[in-house]
Amino acid sequence: MSLFPIFVKLEGRLVVVIGGGSVAEGKIPSVLSAGARVRLVAPSVTPQIAEWVRLGKIDWLPKEFEAADLNGAFLVIAATSAPGVNEAVFREAEARGLLCNAVDDIEHCHFYYGAVVQRGDLQIAISTNGNSPALAQRLRKELELELGPEYEVWVQWLGAAREALRARGPSSETTKKLLHVLASRPMFQEFLQSQSAAGPPRSRVTGRVYLIGAGLGDPELLTLKAARLLQQADVVLHDSLVSRDVLARISTRAEVIDVGKRCGRKLLTQDEINALLVSYAASRQVVVRLKGGDPSIFGRAGEELEALRKASVEFEVVPGVTAALGAAAAAGISLTDRRVASQVLLSTFSRGLDANAMDWGCLTPATTLVLYMPGPDYAEVARRLAEAGLAADLPCVIVSGASGSQQQVRWSSVGALSAQEELPAPALMIVGRVAAQQIREIGEAFWRSGPNAPASRPVSVS
């Protein structure tokens, strides 16, 4: 079935959303940005939706769906996790002659959300008729790179030229042909050259890029500056490990783009991310690159900063709580306990071609080694640590999901690592004498019983 593509004016019109979960949360910002009035019907809502209600951005009816909830609606979105409810909403909307979108339910949709590329008044919406939203997203990302911010200025110029021609009198074939010539690629190249010679156009904004550390997932661990900038952001490019709670702190008017890597799956290459940062800085005032932990620790911030410098884009780094500090806090230990440790080494456990380049042979008994991204094979980690000269009874602690609701802390030793069950990512290991402090203070009873009893006792650190 062929679709009819249209762009709808929602300014001041009522959009009714059924559902108060994460699905509904993801659909609301786009209709708010179009100026719509939003009525939401759901027994409960997410914290972000509750915040929009508090700010008066949407109206919330805290109850189950009833047919009367669609009174006065212009558009309807069914976004519950119950297929039966979504279908009932669709049937009622259809009976009233209202267009309805039941999220992820092709049979009960009058329209689909497209993947949209926007450059000011220029909008390109991509649809696959529900066959492959993933393809639509990929094409959108490619077009984002191809169509730079200069198109926003050019479209404004074309609009002014069109109005000037129309003011001369009724439209004619000559006028139409002239408008097509003005919109041609050769004219676009001439326009760019003229703008370059005249300097940046007044309507073009020179933005600033902020590389912000999102910490470990707890939004209360964000710095005040980071929280403020997330509310001021025009566009946010975030990693996959940034928690939903932190993402909920982003302004609803901001464009939010996931550019992360998860389990080896890359949404964009690093060069593409660099290009997006430079591109957005030319058209947006506040561009945020949101990274898990601290942006300067294993986050490839150096490559992004270099790209911004080469493009003469202003930037600022806003530090965050890195995983090493969050894991130490979760374990209740000090990485530099002066009684047993005098230095800290932050490292990753690489399985790539440069794996042997990591010089763990420089470790001393007074070094605390913090291993980011240890991976699932603890036996391999133990072997590498042993090859670096670390004793089998040297204590270590594994922390998974530090600061989050699923946080886990497991105590062990280098020799006992291979027998440990893998903890969910993101996880981190702390290896060294400091990892024995908490265990020793708990007492001998901890070692004789309990579900978390380590496979071996820690060495004495006295």
Gyration radius (Cα) of the chain, Å: 27
Helix/strand/coil (H/E/C) assignment for every residue in 340-404:
CCCEEEEEECCCCCCHHHCCHHHCCCCEEEEEECCCCCHHHHHHHHHHCCCCCCCEEEEEECCCC
303, two tokens: 């490559």
3, two tokens: 């679709």
Q: What is the pLDDT of residue 278?
A: 83
Q: What is the pLDDT along the chain (462 residues), one digit of tens a residue?
A: 677 888 889 999 999 999 999 889 888 988 998 899 999 999 999 988 998 999 899 999 999 999 999 999 999 999 998 889 999 999 999 999 999 999 888 888 888 887 888 888 888 888 888 788 889 888 888 888 888 878 888 888 788 777 776 776 666 676 777 778 778 887 787 777 766 655 544 444 468 999 999 998 899 999 999 999 999 998 999 998 899 899 999 998 888 888 876 555 556 778 878 888 887 887 788 999 999 999 999 888 999 999 899 888 899 999 999 999 999 998 999 999 888 888 999 988 765 445 455 566 677 888 999 999 888 889 989 998 888 888 999 999 999 988 877 889 999 999 999 889 889 888 999 999 999 855 445 433 333 444 444 443 333 332
Q: What is the pLDDT of residue 328?
A: 92
Question: Taking Cα atoms as reference points, which of 268, 128, 281 lies closest to residue 200?
Answer: 281
On the CB side of 284, how many CA atoms lie within 13 Å of its CA? 24
Active-site residue 104, yes or no?
no
Rounded Cα gap, residues 110 and 99, in angstroms = 6
One-letter amino acid identity for 454? Answer: P
E strand or H helix that includes residue 288: strand 286-291
Active-site residue 239, yes or no?
yes
E strand or H helix that includes residue 99: strand 99-102
Coil, helix or strand at residue 4: coil
Which residue bears the tokens 């209740």? 332
Sign of CA dihedral 181, 185, 188, 194: negative
One-letter amino acid identity for 2? Answer: S
CATH T-level assignment (fold) for domain 330-448: 3.30.950
Q: What is the pLDDT of residue 29?
A: 87
- Active-site entry in 69, 218, 239, 294: 239
CA distances from 438 to 59, 326, 395, 397, 412 (A): 50, 16, 11, 10, 12
Give domain 208-321's CATH architecture.
3-Layer(aba) Sandwich (3.40)
Phi then psi for 146, rounded to 5 degrees?
Answer: -75, -40
Coil, helix or strand at residue 182: helix
CATH T-level assignment (fold) for domain 14-113: Rossmann fold (3.40.50)
pTM for this entry:
0.55
Where do the structural domains in the chain lie, given as residue ranges? Answer: 14-113, 150-198, 208-321, 330-448
Asked if residues 93 and 85 have their Cβ atoms less than 8 Å apart, the reply is no
Phi then psi for 116, rounded to 5 degrees?
Answer: -110, 135
- Active-site entry in 57, 59, 258, 261: 261
Rounded Cα gap, residues 13 and 1, in angstroms = 28
